[in-house]
A and B are shown apart, each in its own frame.
Chain A
């Protein structure tokens, strides 16, 4: 059961704004949406999290429409160092019931060109 759907890859150029959209049609009422960034051979690291509307921090913005069935990560003025895989994450219910289990999607590989 797929929880999230993202584009497999995206290309951009330095200085451009990049928007990556994730679909999560079956998101639960109490679920937050979290985005992570992963460089090759490293563990993912947290970028941003939100529940609804818009969230902004020093590195990104997250837009979540009212129905919460999708979310868009916005990276302003990307640089070469933003080349990475970006994952959106929502939760699923544990098979044993009662526990939140984080589930990563397949991720979006972003390549930033000079």
Chain B
């Protein structure tokens, strides 16, 4: 186990629904990340938080809204998604936002948008 948990592990939602993905780490890390991985595509970095402040928003549509209430928790709020948003959403954390710091990934949430 890497110490990063994600809930739910699987989620099916309609385009009009509102749902949230949760990520939690108890590693004492200060940086947290959301990634999207579509089928047979590389990892796409969505958001980066350092010390609870967002430092990167990688041109992500506004129907994805991140929230980092403290250094241990990261949320991704979803609303009015599209079928093409179906993917594996991965959360990761690292000690700091630094080149030398290893990222620890959670198991991911498999999202299906109908």
| Least CB distance, B92 to chain A, in whole angstroms | 7
- Chain B interface: which size bin? 20 to 34
Within 94-114 of A, Cβ neighbours of B (below 8 Å) are at 94-96, 99-107
The 8 Å CB contact of B99, one of A30, A87, A106, is A30
- B45 contacts across to A, CB distance below 8 A: 101-104
- A103 contacts across to B, CB distance below 8 A: 45
- A42 contacts across to B, CB distance below 8 A: 105, 107-108
- Tell me how many residue pairs across A and B have CB atoms closer than 8 Å: 67
The 8 Å CB contact of A43, one of B55, B56, B100, B106, is B106
> B81-110 interface mask toward A, CB cutoff 8 Å, 1 = contact, 0 = none?
000000010101010011110111111101
B11 at the interface (CB under 8 A from A): no
B42 at the interface (CB under 8 A from A): yes
Docked Cα-Cα span, A42 to B91, in Å, equals 11
**Does the CB pair A43–B102 fall under 8 Å?**
no
Residues of B at under 8 Å CB distance from A? 2, 4, 33, 42-43, 45, 48, 50, 55-56, 88, 90, 92, 94, 97-100, 102-108, 110
Name the CB-closest residue of A to B4.
A43
**Does the CB pair B97–A100 fall under 8 Å?**
yes
Docked Cα-Cα span, A45 to B99, in Å, equals 16
**Does the CB pair B99–A104 fall under 8 Å?**
no
Within 9-51 of A, Cβ neighbours of B (below 8 Å) are at 30-32, 34, 36, 41-46, 49
**Does the CB pair A91–B42 fall under 8 Å?**
no
**Does the CB pair A104–B42 fall under 8 Å?**
yes
